[in-house]
Structure 1
């Protein structure tokens, strides 16, 4: 208060003189620092762009490698998910091993990789966007809604959920096409000639672009918690092991185990949504078999017709697929990121 009163009582000339001196002294400084600040801002933006690009590359490579490695089990899972009543061939091949043998006998070695081309084309942008988005959402949540030194579990879950939603929305049509190509048989049962033919047929026969997003709702409901749990469980296990083992970095086998546990945990909890997604994606391709009107209708119909077990069809090959898939994905991502960043650790101890 005393300081304010004395300032108010100062003569006008003194105030004017002080203002002139301040303006004179600050003007050159501000004008000379402006280009520097602008240059610094542009450099910072460019650095962030380069960094995001590296995250995208690392994520894309991780997704392509991991999905190709588990392609046979991925296709088997889809075939199990869309199976309603057993055919003669399926009666003879009710187990994972016998089903794999049946595919080899009827379609040859390449039968294990049917739809994998589309899957890789989808997984490169999907995995790239997912990993890069997760890094960006984590960075955002470190400062908003309040600055923190490290993310707690709720913030990690939110970052993972948003990364999952972002990646799905960006690549969903490719996922639908991959499902259609993986599910079709050979000879008279083959409806689509390839990726382009499948895309053109869906656009022409199933309501245009809207048909390419069939099953998006259950996909988002399943993917958001799946990705959230996946990243959170993986990072939590890694942090715990780093503390227990008193090391700065975990070995590759240990990180593979972390990824396997994270993937299996997340997929087991969210698996029913994956089944519903596949069923709804097949609408328009399988006649009245999967004529569900909504996600809720699909959920109740499957339980009524096939029982609760119907929501877990393909769970065994899926668990066999998810564990190595997520292990390879996380380890490949970390390897590529370290390679691209020259060994620089990104995100601090225990981070991806």
Structure 2
């Protein structure tokens, strides 16, 4: 391998378990702080569809909420997704990256995206079930986590826990494509124009914020479609039939329901994760 090739940087090795542990911790912190936005997003995405409650606007959703605790409905299902998922993806990413690039830490955009997509696809094998259960519990306030698991298994068997798996992979790959590309571009722009050539927490934060907003706007339709597809229990429609029903009943703009809370969550979550994770890596690498 040509070590003089551009866009390649070397660094001392870092124990993967440290990256995985801190990656999981930062993701958990982000999810706990931003989860009310996830709750609102799912409610708005499913607004008046598939037997879910209909809200005139976001104010009517707030008016229905009687306590702050309600905004953390199905948080246990989200933890069932995040804990194994966020840990597995880092182990998988580091294993795949090392297999392709050895000790090279930074490489080309295409290779980064390929490694990240493969790692997320592996991690979703552990996290897809939690995503399904979260969506169904938010839309059915009488359903507990155990009942949601039993309902899904009784209706669709074990395979039902992987419903929407490929749609989830496509959505997250699209998010990664945006984040990997734009974060570095925003970072280079601010370093070049507003600093003396050095990065800082402030630069990382504003780059992450803009990256999260951009990623949210571009991937909101995919996330909206995913929520509708995963919420189905009895009427197990295919991707295509679900899409046709959505367009027929709600129009193309129906895919953009819940875009505002989705974008806000993406921007805050991206900022927390990028800044904390980048600062951690700078200290140990």
| TM-score exceeds 0.5 | yes
What SS does the corresponding residue of 1:70 show, helix, strand or coil?
helix
Partner of 1:124: 83
Deviation per CA, 1:284-309, whole angstroms, max 9, x where unpaired?
Answer: 1xx5xxx3521122222211221101
Corresponding position of 2:276 = 332
Query: Is 2:20 the counterpart of 1:56?
Result: yes
Q: Which residue of 2 aligns with 1:35?
A: none
TM norm structure 1: 0.69
Matches within 5 A, 1:43-82: 51-82=15-46
Structure 2 contact 47–54 (Cα < 8 Å) conserved: no
Distance 1:148 1:67 in 2: 31
Deviation at 1:131, TM superposition (A): 3.7
In the alignment, what sits opposite 2:123?
Answer: 167
Alignment partner, residue 74 of structure 2 = 115
Query: How much does 1:260 deviate?
Result: 1.9
Q: Which has the larger radius of gyration?
A: 1
Residue correspondences, number: 272
1:201 partnered with 2:151: yes
Q: Deviations over 1:229-259 (max 9, x none)?
A: 22332233234434442344312x3322222
| CA–CA separation in structure 2 for the residues paired with 1:254 and 1:72 | 27
Partner of 1:4: none
Matched, 1:100 2:62: yes
Q: TM-score with structure 2 length normalisation?
A: 0.84
Q: Is the aligned partner of 1:90 residue 2:73?
A: no
- Residue in structure 1 matched with residue 5 of structure 2 by the alignment: none
- Between stretches 159-168 and 323-332, larger displacement belongs to 159-168
The gaps in structure 1 that reach 5 residues or longer are 1-46, 346-352
The reply to whether residue 222 of structure 1 matches residue 171 of structure 2 is yes
Relative to 1, partners in 2 of residues 1:84 and 1:239: Cα closer, same or farther, differing over 3 Å?
same
Q: Deviations over 1:111-144 (max 9, x none)?
A: 011112221332122222334434444444435x
CA RMSD, 1 decimal: 2.7
Q: Which has the higher contact order (CA 8 A, sep 6+)?
A: 2
